[in-house]
């Protein structure tokens, strides 16, 4: 009887310690980034009519903490100098400003993974009496 009781106890312990396989995250998949904006972004900007022949590029270095981000920007094909960036991300909606020379360029748009795009508005750096608007897009460098 003692042997049967000991054997039953062993079976019970074995059943309790044998766990069914669990599914976890795929180790080959990278986890989603908690700060999707952190990194280098390269993009293009264009001015709406009547200045639509003016287009340029930019590179932004961004550092995101929670819903806010800051960084630097280097625009090309403009009379505006390099400057700083400050903005917020709300879900996929992005809003930020470039602070160049004495002017601020306001951007709004949508983040879609490693790309973002939208519209911008600012006074011209060379003549603050000229109001400019346009479109922009950027891709995160890998």
pLDDT in tens, 93-112: 999 999 987 779 999 999 99
Residue 25 has pLDDT above 80, yes or no: no
Q: Cα-flanking dihedrals φ and ψ of residue 75, to 5°?
A: -85, 155
Residue 81 has what pLDDT? 83
pTM for the whole thing?
0.74
Residue 33 has what pLDDT? 57
Query: What domains are defined for the chain?
Result: 39-140 (2.40.128.120)
Q: Which residue has the higher pLDDT, 50 or 108?
A: 108
- Would you call 136 exposed, middle or buried from its count of C-beta atoms within 10 A (0-12, 13-18, 19+)? buried
Q: What is the mean pLDDT of residues 49-64?
A: 92
């Amino acid at each position: 009887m003692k042997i049967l009781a000991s054997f039953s106890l062993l079976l019970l312990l074995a059943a309790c310690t044998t766990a069914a396989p669990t599914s976890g995250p795929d180790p080959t998949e990278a986890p989603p980034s908690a700060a999707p904006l952190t990194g280098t972004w390269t993009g293009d900007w264009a001015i709406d009519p009547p200045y639509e022949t003016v287009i340029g590029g930019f590179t932004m270095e961004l550092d995101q903490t929670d819903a806010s981000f800051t960084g630097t920007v280097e625009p090309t094909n403009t009379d505006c100098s390099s400057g700083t960036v400050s903005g917020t991300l709300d879900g996929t909606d992005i809003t930020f400003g470039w602070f160049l020379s004495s002017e601020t360029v306001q951007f709004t748009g949508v983040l879609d993974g490693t790309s973002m795009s939208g519209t911008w508005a600012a006074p011209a750096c060379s003549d603050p009496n000229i109001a400019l608007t346009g479109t922009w897009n950027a891709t995160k460098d890998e």
